[in-house]
A and B are shown apart, each in its own frame.
Chain A
């Protein structure tokens, strides 16, 4: 996680310098590096959670409460497995949906965004009280 964070800072710096020098648009290798950084950022944030949650064991509240003592006596492992499975299912569906929408937006390309911004600008001075 820490290494990835350092890497992001470095990549950002290199990209910034290249942008200032006007060379970022032509350097395809650097654009690939930036794209690869997208999933790496998700990985880093998850690894951060893991090191916080796993690193704290056997405590659930450091120095105060042990995880074994914090377990609810009411919720059976069957219930935990059921909801864990449902969480997995929901996140899987959401991941697929997100991926489709994400890829769709990328495939549309940046032209649409420019048009959208222009459309918004021309729509902005609409008369007050137009329904909002």
Chain B
């Protein structure tokens, strides 16, 4: 495994951890207006993610930072080419962060902050999937790796389908989280949403799989043609079966959350195997314009220094992250909202 390939794996890992962690708090924000009734339940939903959401978002910063340093061409192409979409995600995350901070200080503007929390969760949860759809489907690029499509080209049917599937995936993930953290009436409603959104997600995932085989055979051929592809297909299947088992045989919210995390690992792995060795494949332009791992990677020394730093600091981050979750383990009460 070359150093560049190692970094492809690490970037995929960082972004997968991001989806697992920030995924549930984005999902909780999407569900917020639908399942929380009254001030107390609303504050339980907010407080359940209160101590962790900002730490979770750090994995996105780390993932994007790793792309910036390890694969500068990919960073330049995606962040400039997808400029407006990425700015929308950014505005969503800003509004969401501020609404969580201001909401309990400012009852007069409660509807404004509630709306900002919902929209600020919905927009990133949807657009991250749309971006992934485009990266799987491929985009038109010139020989220097510049994106030559328009903003509207990014909103093609396939990418929108991946976006909606991603939204459903995060929503069922968030519902599982709320089923763990909530009590009573709120918990019951979260559990109903957890089951319903799982099946919506399952149907959409099947639709996305079929659409990928039909519209992006390059990716599906790579998945079916590689042992790693079959491995992640198996992981996704195990995650689905385990989630169904947790929901209907065990009635365990925690186990259904673990199942959903396994599904995310499976799906992310399938997407990564379907793209490798491309990071962003070309579509409609010559294959030589594709941004491959080798072409987009930084120099050897940069990658080596980054690897050493990552090996030192990622375990530290994992350690304190685990400590935070341990500290705030258990059910969330309305009174915890002051945090």
Chain A residues at the B interface, C-beta cutoff of 8 Å: 72-75, 79, 82-83, 86, 90, 94, 97, 100-101, 104-105, 129-132
Contacts and interface: CB of A to CB of B under 8 A. Distances in A.
A41 to B, nearest CB: 20
6 contacts: A72-B83, A74-B147, A75-B80, A83-B83, A83-B84, A131-B333
B330 interface: yes
A130 B332 CA distance: 9
A129 B329 CA distance: 9
A73 B141 CA distance: 13
Instruction: Please give me the 3 A-B residue pairs with the lowest Cβ-Cβ distance, nearest first.
Output: A74-B80, A72-B80, A131-B333
B124 to A, nearest CB: 15
Nearest to A94: B98
Interface of B: 76, 80-81, 83-84, 87, 91, 94-95, 98, 102, 105-106, 108-109, 112, 146-147, 327-333, 336
B84 A82 contact: yes
Contact of A131 (B81, B83, B102, B336): B336
A86 B91 contact: yes
Main secondary structure of the interface of A (DSSP, over half): helix
B336 A74 contact: no
Contact of A129 (B98, B105, B106, B330): B330
Contacts of A129: 330
A40 B46 CA distance: 35
Contacts of B330: 129, 131-132
Nearest to A123: B335
B109 A74 contact: no
B105 A101 contact: yes
A86 B81 CA distance: 19
Contacts of A82: 84
A90 B328 CA distance: 32
A131 B338 CA distance: 14
A72 B76 contact: yes
B83 A74 contact: yes
B322 to A, nearest CB: 16
Given A105-B105, A132-B329, 11 more contacts: A72-B76, A74-B80, A82-B84, A86-B87, A97-B102, A97-B109, A101-B105, A101-B106, A130-B333, A131-B330, A131-B331
B180 to A, nearest CB: 13
Most chain A C-beta atoms within 10 Å of own C-beta, residue among B81, B83, B84, B112:
B83
Nearest to A91: B94
A128 to B, nearest CB: 11
A83 B331 contact: no
B277 to A, nearest CB: 24
Contacts of B336: 131-132
A124 to B, nearest CB: 13
Contacts of B87: 83, 86
A39 B309 CA distance: 39
B214 to A, nearest CB: 30
Given A97-B109, A101-B105, A132 B327 contact: yes
Given A74-B147, A97-B102, A97-B106, A132 B328 contact: yes
A74 B329 CA distance: 46
Contacts of A105: 105
Contacts of B81: 74
Most chain B C-beta atoms within 10 Å of own C-beta, residue among A73, A97, A104, A129:
A97
Contacts of A131: 330-333, 336
Given A74-B147, A131-B330, A100 B106 contact: yes
A18 to B, nearest CB: 32
B134 to A, nearest CB: 14
A44 B147 CA distance: 40
Nearest to A98: B102
Contact of B83 (A75, A97, A130): A75
Contacts of B106: 97, 100-101, 104
A74 B332 contact: no
A79 B330 CA distance: 45
Contacts of B94: 90
A17 B112 CA distance: 45
A96 B87 CA distance: 22
A132 B330 CA distance: 6
